[in-house]
Amino acid sequence: MKHLLFRIVAGLVVVVAALAAMVGAGLGAAKDAAGSTYPDPMAMNDAVRGIVDDAPRTRHDRSLPTAVVLLGSDGANVADTLAPFEVLATSKRFNVYTAAPERRPVPLTGGLDLVPDFSFAELDRRFPSGVDVVIAPQIPGGSATAAPVRDLLERQAASDATVVGICVGVEMLADAGLLDGRPATSNWLKLYGLTRDHPDVAWERDVRYVDDGNVVTTAGVLSGIDGALRIVERFAGESVARRVATAVSWTTYQPGGAATLPGSRIRPADSVALLNVGYRNPTDVGVLLTEGVGEIELASTFRPYTELAYVARTHALTMDGTPIRSQHGLTFVPRSTLGSTADELDRLLVPGGAAAEASNPAIVRAAATAGLQPEYLHRNDEFAFEPVLRDIAETTDVATATWVAKSLEYQVQSQLTGTAWPWSLTTKVVLAGLVGAALATAATVAMTRFLRSRAGLRRFVGHYLEMVLAMFAGMGLLMLPWMVIWPGVGNHEVLGTLVMGVNMTIGMATWMAIRGHDRRMIVEMSAAMVAPFVLLLLPLAAGVISDGTLMMAGHIVMFLTMLAAMLLRRHDYTHHQATWPWHVRRRTPSQSPDIRKAQRSPSAGLSRMNQP
C-alpha cells in the first residue's frame, strides 16, 4: 500500500511539474501581451494639452435627447465604446458625447487614444439635471479606476437616465447595486464570475441584451450594437433602428426584442487563446488613422488583434503626427508618425472604406520607403469586423480567428481559410511540459534514493503526504453533502473557504485516527490546519486583504503550519508505528514478546536442556 501511495504521489508531482513548466514558460510573454493591450495614458505635456484644448465638440441640439459614453482614466474597451457611439450618432436622433474623469487622451484597446468631449465635472455642470442615456463599457484598471465611473452611473440613474451596461461594463452596474433583483446579462465568459459575486441578480445567458426599463444590459462586446439599436428603437422608433442597422451592416437586429445567441461555453478549442498569450511572438502592426474613418471600422482594427487574441501589437499613427477626426466627430491622437516607426513595423493596416477608395499615393510612397505595403481592410460593403477576422485566419490560424469571433460574440458570415491550428505553439508547450516532467522525475528518483537510506525521514515525509492526500479527499467528498444541504455555499467566498477548511480537517483527522495516531496529535494537527483561515479573518474584516487572498494565503500558510506541528513532535512522526486497520497481527500466548525473547535466548535454550 505504501509503495502504491508513493507512486501516486510521485505521479502527481511529475504532472504538476509539467503543468508548472508549461505555465511558467509562458508567463513572461503573457505579462507583456496583457500590458500592451492598454498602454499607459499619454503624458499631459504642452503639445498634448494644446491638442485637447483645440479638439472640437459636437454642436448640441436642445431638441434631441443626450447620450454619453463613459470612459475610465486608464482607458476603455474600444469596441464597447465606439460601436454604440456610432450606432447612436448614425441615427441623428441623439446628442452623443464621450466623458472621462479628466479631459485628456484616454487609451482605448490596442493604444488608440481618444480625447473625451467632457470631464465628469464638466458633464455635471453642463447637464445638472442629468442626461437621457449613459453607456458603461468595459473599464480596465481595477476597482480604483472604475470607482469614479460607478459613482457617475449612480448619480445618472438617480436622475432617471437610462443606464446601458456593455459586456464586462455590466459589472460596474452590478457593483453599484443597480441590478439587484433585476434580470441582466453580460459577456458569456464574465458571467461565470458575476453569477458568483452577485447572486441577487437574475442573470440570463444566450441573449443579446436584456431590457429592464431604465436599465439595459448587453452580452459580449458586439452585442453592444444590439443594445444601442434597442435604445434607438425606444427613443426614435423601429424604422430608424432598421435604417441604422443597415447603415452599419449589422444583421442580428431584431425589432421589439433581443436576438438569441448560439450559447457560448468554454471548450477545448478555446485553449488557443492561452497558446497565443503565452507562446506567440506578436507582430508589430501600424494602424494608419485617416480623416473621416468610421468608429466601428477603428474598433474592428484595434480589438481583434489584441485583447484576448494577442497576435499583434497595434500602433496608432498618422502621416504627420496630427490628430484626426472620425466620421462622427471624435478626436483621436496618434502616438507616432508613419515615417518615424515604419522600420519597426511588420505590417501597415489602413482602416476605413473612405481610405480604401481614396488610396492616397503619399501613403504608398511612405510605406514603400520602409518596405511595407498598405493593407486596406475595408474594401467591401460588409460589417467592419468581417474582413479583419478573415485576415486573422489567413495570417495567423483559423482557430484564433474563431476564438476572436467567439470572444466578440459575433457569428462570422464568410468562410475562414488558413492554417487550422497553431501547431508550432503547441510544440513549444509540449516541449516545456516534457522538460518539467523530466526534471521532476529526476528529482523524485534522487529523493527516493535519499529517503531509502533514512528510515525516520522516510516515515516523516510519508506521514505528511498521507495527511495531505486525506485532506484533499475530505475536501472533495464532503463538499457534495454541503452542496445538497446548502446549495449557495459556493456563492459566499469567505464561508465557502471556511467550509472547505473544515472538510479538509475532517478528512485529515479521520485518516490520522485510522492510522492509529493519538487524540492529542489529531487535535494539534487539526488546529494547525484551521488556524490560518481563522486568523486571516481579522485582516479580511479590516479590509487589508480580499476574499480571494484569504483562500490563497490560507492554503499556503496551512501547509507550513502543518509542517511546523509535525516538527514540534518529529519523534512521534518519525518513529510512530501506526498500523493499517485491516492488517492487525493476532498474537497467541506462545507469540508474546517475553516468550519469543526467551526462545531466541541461547542461555534459555541451554537451561531447558539441563533441566531433568
Mean pLDDT of 465-478: 86
Residue with cell 494602424: 287
Q: Which residue has the cell 501589437?
A: 313
Pick from 291, 293, 207: nearest CA to 252: 207
Orientation of helix 493-514 relative to helix 547-568, angle to 10°: 20
Tell me: the pLDDT tens digits for 160-217? 999 999 999 999 999 999 999 999 999 999 998 899 899 999 999 999 999 999 999 9
Distance from C-alpha of 144 to C-alpha of 121, rounded to nearest angstrom: 18
pLDDT number for residue 119: 97
For 57-110, the pLDDT digits (tens) are 989 999 999 999 999 999 999 999 999 999 999 999 999 999 999 999 999 999
Question: How many angstroms separate the CA atoms of 509 and 519, rounded?
Answer: 9
Q: DSSP letters of 349-406?
A: EE--HHHHHH--HHHHHHHHHTT--EEES--SSS-THHHHHHHHHHHT-HHHHHHHHH
**Residue 599: is its pLDDT beyond 60?**
no
Grid coordinates in use for 129? 439635471
Grid coordinates belonging to 220: 459580449
On the question of pLDDT at 580 being above 70, the answer is no
What number is the average pLDDT over the span 582-608?
48
pLDDT, mean over the chain? 88
Q: What is 543-601 written as a DSSP string?
A: TSS-HHHHHHHHHHHHHHHHHHHHHHTHHHHHH-----TT------GGGSHHHHHHHH-
**CA distance linking residue 160 with residue 606, whole number of Å:** 108
Strand pairing of 95-100 and 66-70? parallel
- For residue 405, pLDDT beyond 90: yes
Relative to beta strand 331-333, strand 324-325 is antiparallel
pLDDT at 220 over 90: yes
Q: What is the pLDDT of residue 548?
A: 66
- Each residue's pLDDT tens digit, 261-318: 988 898 999 999 999 998 898 999 999 999 999 999 999 999 999 999 999 999 999 9
Q: Are 581 and 514 in contact (CB under 8 A)?
A: yes
Confidence grade of residue 611 (pLDDT, cut at 50, 70, 90): very low
Q: Say yes or no to pLDDT of 258 above 50.
A: yes
pLDDT the model gives residue 409: 95
Q: What number is the average pLDDT over the span 331-350?
A: 93
Q: What's the pLDDT tens digit per position in 528-573?
A: 988 888 888 888 777 667 666 777 788 788 888 888 888 888 888 8
